[in-house]
A = this chain, B = another copy of it.
Amino acid sequence: MTSDNFEWLYRGVTEVFPSQTDSQEESENLEQLCNRCDRPLRVKLGIDPTGTDLHLGHSIPFRKLRAFQDQGHTAVVIIGDFTAQIGDPTGKDKVRKQLSAEEVKQNAETYLQQLRPILDFDTPGRLEIRYNSEWLSKLDLAQIQELLATMTVQQMLAKEGFNNRYNQQTPIYLHEFLYPLMQGYDSVAVNADVELGGTDQKFNIAVGRDLQRHFGQKPQFGVLLPILIGTDGEQKMSKSLNNYVGLKEDALSMYSKLEKTPDALLPNYYELLTNFALTEIPENPREAQKLLAVEIISQYHGQEAALMAQKTALEIVSRQNMANAQAVPEFSLESVEFPAKLFYILNASGLVNSSGEGRRQIQGGSVRLEGDRISDVNITYDDPTQLKGKILQVGKKKFIRLV
């Protein structure tokens, strides 16, 4: 809890609120609270034990929670068992399906098991796991009325999700207004100083602040984290879109997905999913992909297993290439005078129609040797043994084996 530049706090964060400028009633911002406070802060993060296999997208707030733990603060993980057990009475909300106490317990355990690699479960005082049925099941009608009376219909309908549905005349059932209040009351029950969540949680976290104020507590800070784009580079990571990397996947399976991380996503993935210094990301995209994969896998399976997965993946590619060898046309290097530039070999072998095209293909990132992308236009080989037996490839469909 020493003074610092708060890189651990701000890395990858979309918003910390309130900031000191948000409101005149805030006497300090989160940095000041961190610096001033002589006790560990209570940092809340809620999960719905609805049987989800967690993926890297889910890991983001938990990684931030770990960062708080590493600063000496207490992670308070709230398991929303109460809501899961009552479900959605209308049956229309598939996320809110009703689960038995036994199912909830099993799901919660599976969930926590998946979080073991991310959170610090072992240092005393760093982790508190709470089930919200502890307090929600004890609320009576008078107390629920008190919660409801802290908010107006107009405030609820101003919330984006509700607002859209109200304007589209889609029915909004009254009990849906309870969910933000229940989540908010969790903050009261655990006396949270900070709540972490996705950017879609801002409203609910703000409701928690209102309720804490109502019950005489200092309102929590909200730390909002982005939603992760999936490995397709387009949509939110999700199991149903099959663009995900699951936390329970084995190292090799993770590697095979992560080594193909789209170039445009690399900075984002490094920032949100690793602690790697962002200034030291390899410039070569292929190298950056491989390193990213190893960095992420190391968190879940250890570095040794990560490197082993990398090696295995490479071998598999080689073996696949071997298997494909018979189908691949050969080009004899005997006709080439060494030392030889690669773009010359591309032209000589007929993969391209001119040395100029060869240069452009290298520049465009389309040329691979034994699966590794070549980006140095002037790469030169001194000796045919450097190339013999390898697959030279332009784009996805043109191959030759150098013999």
Contact = CB atoms under 8 A, between A and B. Distances in A.
Interface of A: 82, 85-86, 88-90, 136-137, 139-142, 144-146, 148-154, 156-157, 162, 166, 169, 171-175, 177-178, 181-182
A167 to B, nearest CB: 11
Contacts of A142: 85-86, 137
Contacts of A88: 149
Contacts of A137: 140-142
B171 A154 contact: yes
A156 B140 contact: no
Contact of A153 (B144, B145, B149, B174): B174
Contact of A151 (B162, B169, B173): B173
Contacts of A171: 152-154
A154 B174 contact: no
A177 B148 contact: yes
A145 B86 contact: yes
Given A90-B149, A137-B141, A148-B177, 9 more contacts: A89-B149, A137-B140, A137-B142, A139-B140, A141-B144, A149-B173, A152-B172, A153-B171, A174-B181
A173 B148 contact: yes
Contacts of A86: 141-142, 145
B169 A148 contact: no
Nearest to A145: B175
Nearest to A172: B153
Which label, helix, strand, loop or mixed, suits the secondary structure of the A interface?
Answer: helix
Contacts of A156: 153, 174
A144 to B, nearest CB: 6
Contacts of A177: 148, 153, 174
A89 B150 CA distance: 8
Contacts of A144: 141, 144, 178
A152 B89 CA distance: 13
Contacts of A148: 173-175, 177-178
Nearest to A144: B144
Contacts of A152: 171-174
Contact of A89 (B145, B157, B178, B182): B145
Given A139-B140, A141-B137, A175 B154 contact: no
A90 B147 CA distance: 11
A19 B24 CA distance: 59
Contact of A174 (B140, B151, B169): B151
Nearest to A88: B149
A172 B177 CA distance: 13
A136 B141 contact: yes
A145 B91 CA distance: 13
B173 A82 contact: no
Nearest to A165: B153
Contacts of A141: 82, 86, 136-137, 139, 144, 178, 182
30 contacts: A82-B141, A85-B142, A88-B149, A89-B145, A89-B146, A89-B149, A89-B150, A136-B141, A137-B140, A139-B140, A140-B140, A144-B178, A146-B175, A148-B173, A148-B175, A148-B177, A148-B178, A149-B173, A150-B174, A151-B173, A151-B174, A152-B172, A153-B153, A153-B156, A153-B157, A153-B172, A154-B166, A154-B169, A154-B172, A156-B174
